[in-house]
Amino acid sequence: MKKILSKNVLVWMMFCLGIVFIGTACKKSSSNPMPTQQTITTIVSNNTNFSLLKTAVVKAGLATTLNGTGPFTVFAPSDTAFAGSGITASVINSLTADQLKTILLYHTIPANIPAANVPAGPNAKVITASGDSVFVTKNANGVFVNGIPVTQADIMASNGVIHALARVLIPPVGNIVQVAQSDTSFSYLVAAVLRASQGAVNVASVLSGPGPFTVFAPTNAAFRAAGFATVNDINNADPATLTSILTYHVIAGRIFSSDLTQGAQPTTLNTGKLTISLTGGATVKGNSNTVASNIIATNIMATNGVVHVIDRVLLP
């Protein structure tokens, strides 16, 4: 009998403790509700890593938009990404609201696309809120937009998702020829394209065409190092020779820095071969070059392709 009573007492005590535990848990739950999910604008505003992005969003007048129902996918450059792209607070302040709006809408897709739903590509075309296109790739190395890596994916918001980017996405200013014309560091290249176009092949027309093309673009200093001391030297050069050199810098297709692989030998428009190396930094070498050219800037967007800047002229 005593054993039965003891067992009943034990069961009763456990039952009472269970009631107390449940009651306490319910009380804690009701006094500490789950936090409400924040909008994209709120997340950007509260994250100190996005202070420059916040400044740009506010000046562009997009804070209310990105606080709305959406849904949106925002590729968000961090402050480090802005600095790496050469865009400081003073640069942001120097831009007009419309200019900033164009840039920011180029980072925005009017849909909710978590990393799991990013198309594999490679370089799948996606239309942004600005009406321009970005090209996304998802592979074993991560997610890339216009060749730029996503550094943190799936920052979830109540009205969409944020993916942090390693660099700022700059919308194209035009086709490849127009991109070169917009940058004074390519004035020798522009002169070479125009001079070559006076020959049998209209190189300017080709590089303004639909493409897409990838161009390794030598700087003015690269042309001078190759023996073209002045633009006048280029203007006096044989158009056929310039055509052979220039088409050796062009590859059919859109190849971002994230697509470059060690030892690759892509075929150029003049049917030659280049050699890519990623050891100790990205380089590209022509058949007649004794030293490879450093790829010093990458993923400059054009409406008909992409431009990578190099510090030596490639020789077939």
Each residue's pLDDT tens digit, 153-206: 999 999 999 999 999 999 999 999 999 999 999 999 999 999 999 999 999 999
Mean pLDDT of 262-266: 97
Dihedral of alpha carbons 243, 283, 136, 160, sign: negative
Q: Would you put residue 40 in left (φ > 0), alpha (ψ -120 to 50) or beta?
A: alpha
| pLDDT value for 33 | 38
Q: What percent of the chain has pLDDT over 70?
A: 89
C-alpha 29/C-alpha 97 separation (Å) is 45
Strand ranges across the sheet with 305-310: 250-252, 213-218, 305-310, 293-302, 283-285, 275-277
pLDDT single digits (tens) 197-247: 999 999 999 999 999 999 999 999 999 999 999 999 999 999 999 999 999
Per-residue 3-state assignment (H helix, E strand, C coil) for the chain: CHHHHHHHHHHHHHHHHHHHHHHHHHHHHHHCCCCCCCCHHHHHHHCHHHHHHHHHHHHHCCCCHHHCCCCEEEEEECHHHHHHCCCCHHHHHHCCHHHHHHHHHCCEECCCCCHHHCCCCCCEEEECCCCCEEEEEEECCEEEECCEEEEEEEEEECCEEEEEECCCCCCCCCCHHHHHHCCHHHHHHHHHHHHHCCCCCCHHHHHCCCCCEEEEEECHHHHHHCCCCCHHHHHCCCHHHHHHHHHCCEEECCCCHHHCCCCCCCEECCCCECEEECCCCCEEECCCCCCCEEEEEEEEEECCEEEEEECCCCCC
Q: Which residues, 6+ apart, have CB-to-CB distance to 219 below 8 Å? A: 185, 186, 188, 189, 296, 309, 310, 311
| pLDDT value for 134 | 97
When pLDDT is cut at 50, 70 and 90, the band that residue 28 belongs to is: very low
Q: Is the pLDDT of residue 34 over 80?
A: no
Tokens for 88? 């400081």
Tokens 């190189």 — which residue?
A: 203
Question: Going from the N-terminus, what domains does the chain have, and what CATH number goes with each?
Answer: 40-165 (2.30.180.10), 176-310 (2.30.180.10)
Q: What percent of the chain has pLDDT over 90?
A: 87
C-alpha 256/C-alpha 208 separation (Å) is 19
Find out whether the peptide bond into 71 is cis, omega within 30 degrees of 0: yes
Mean pLDDT of 86-93: 95
Q: Is the pLDDT of residue 1 over 80?
A: no
Tokens for 150? 């996503």
**Are residues 68 and 159 in contact, defined by beta-carbon separation less than 8 angstroms?**
yes
When pLDDT is cut at 50, 70 and 90, the band that residue 137 belongs to is: very high
